[in-house]
Chains A and B, each alone.
Chain A
Amino acid sequence: MICQECNQRPAALHFTKIVNGEKTEVHLCEKCAQEKGEMFMFNGEAGLSFNNLLAGLLNIDPSFKQPSQSPFHQEEILQCQHCSMTFPQFLKVGRFGCARCYETFQDQLKPVIRRLHGGNWAHNGKIPKRIGGSIHLRKQIEELKHNLRESISREEFEQAASIRDEIRQLEKRLSASHEGGE
């Protein structure tokens, strides 16, 4: 197989990724792979780092390319106010400059994150206890509301009533923490 970048050398790196049926195939020779930002670990024996392939993947995505207009016509380049990283810079290195970049580049990022994480867009795991007080409450309320609907559909009204009371309590605590907090 020939390298898909230079179309000259034989491809030495074959990378296939299938997430939820979406398939991306990359075939590169060693030289192009290195130029695209992929790195081999320093002892030359270990494999490719997945993260280093990311920059390459982002650039390959056609939906992701900047519209090809003359540089003068280009709209203002998005830049993070906090760390001054620009979006093209991010595309190049595949790493953000700071936590606020996520907010700055939110709109551009959404399709990328979805694709990287099998269509997911929202965190569903651990929450730091210290900063997560109200988040915890909100998640708990959401869960209870789900249980409430289920109990009603099963016609377990006594249980539903007790769940409803619990939700009210939590909502009271949530609004109290908001007034007190900010």
Chain B
Amino acid sequence: MSLERFLNQAVSSWMSKDGPDSDIVLSSRIRLARNLEAYKFPTVFSHEEAKRIISDMENLLRQETMPKFGPMELLKIDEMQPLQKRVLVEKHLISPNLAEESPYGAVLLSENEEVSIMVNEEDHIRIQCLFPGLQLAEALEAANEMDDWLEQHLQYAFDEKLGYLTSCPTNVGTGLRASVMMHLPGLILTHQMGRIIPAINQLGFVVRGIYGEGSEALGNIFQISNQITLGKAEEDICRDLMGVVSQIISQERSAREALRKTSNIQLEDRVFRSLGVLTNSRIIESKEAARCLSDVRLGIDMGYIENISKTILNELMILTQPGFLQQYAGGPLRPHERDIRRAALIRERFQMEFKKFGEE
């Protein structure tokens, strides 16, 4: 398959489109956890109950079409190839938990992959909306619309006092997890992240490196999400998270400006070295690829590099994960083969970029 065709199939809208503040915020996600009153939770439910839930969903999809998101496709976990599952995980459309530990699970995907609904993961239903850039309110609205539609057809487990009842008490109430994925190289280079993370925690939000652990996030990409789901309205949770995120955005922007003032040439050097590595290497590990992609993206955002589109970071961070590389190769690869394949894919992707701008 040509890379271009593969990309057309592989890239979800949140990876290829720009959103507000997309020089720093890669994506915004809303997740709503819901359960059905009539069934036991997935921790203890029987095989038959699980099957009934899935067939309930199938019947619903057959009879009705959600007007806004169009037809949804239902994929059952036990009917999927391991590689196929892994690709969905790498695209953030399903959780590792659903792929690996929910044999009776399924996922419903909208055509543009903006909405996915996991069935029989930790909760019976998890609605997820993923938008490019900082668009929490928009994502919440979409998730609410999906939720309202489902609610017309399904009887949710809901308690007057505690709200939506979830399998784990950490999600009870709104069942809402709002998260924002941010690219924060400026704060890392100026060694400020260690100071900022505890401050964010103190406000009841969690910071995680999405492709790594703790403060050593791979590719300088962090995910910030709410921890408290009970006692605050959905809009307030999102508004509070927005407040924290916009603080971080302005900190990151001023860190970048400070870097430009104090070490312009060093920064430019770093950016172009990384570009050199990405466009020339023949073997590249995921860690090195992530680091260089982060540098290049910073170079694009700060205007050192022209003629490369910003979304290349979002795209290549996902496409150079093991699952995608193997799908592109059309079969399983050993780690060493992956590193070769990764280097080739990155080179080819940059070639596409140069060609595109050359023609214009």
Q: Give the shortest distance, in Å, between A13 (CB) and chain B (any CB).
A: 9
- Across the interface, A14 reaches (CB within 8 A) one of B41, B43, B174, B214, namely B214
Interface presence of B258 (CB below 8 A): no
Is B229 in contact with A97, judged by CB distance below 8 angstroms? no
Is B170 in contact with A120, judged by CB distance below 8 angstroms? no
Known: A95-B122, A128-B158. A116 touches B231 (CB 8 A): no
Instruction: List B contacts of A47 (CB < 8 A).
Output: 208-210, 212-214
Q: Which of A71-79, A129-137, A159-167, A174-182 contacts B (4 or more CB under 8 A)?
A: A129-137
Known: A16-B201, A95-B168. A46 touches B231 (CB 8 A): no
Q: How far is B144's CA from A149's CA once the two chains are assembled, in angstroms?
A: 33
Q: How far is B126's CA from A46's CA once the two chains are assembled, in angstroms?
A: 20
Interface presence of B343 (CB below 8 A): no
Interface presence of A121 (CB below 8 A): yes
Interface presence of A173 (CB below 8 A): no
Nearest B residue to A94 via CB reads: B168
Is B158 in contact with A18, judged by CB distance below 8 angstroms? no
Instruction: List B contacts of A117 (CB < 8 A).
Output: 172-173, 228-231
Number of interface residues of B (CB under 8 A): 64
Q: Give the shortest distance, in Å, between A178 (CB) and chain B (any CB).
A: 14
Instruction: List A contacts of B40 (CB < 8 A).
Output: 82-83, 97-98
Instruction: List B contacts of A121 (CB < 8 A).
Output: 161, 230-231
Number of interface residues of A (CB under 8 A): 50
**Among the interface residues B144, B168, B208, which one has the most CB atoms of the partner chain A within 10 A?**
B168
Instruction: List B contacts of A45 (CB < 8 A).
Output: 211-212, 218, 286
Interface presence of A126 (CB below 8 A): yes
Is A120 in contact with B165, judged by CB distance below 8 angstroms? no
Known: A19-B227, A43-B321, A99-B37. 15 other contacts (CB 8 A): A16-B201, A17-B227, A18-B198, A42-B96, A45-B286, A46-B211, A50-B206, A83-B40, A95-B168, A96-B167, A96-B169, A98-B39, A123-B231, A125-B174, A129-B148
Closest 5 CB pairs of A and B: A120-B231, A123-B163, A99-B157, A117-B230, A97-B44
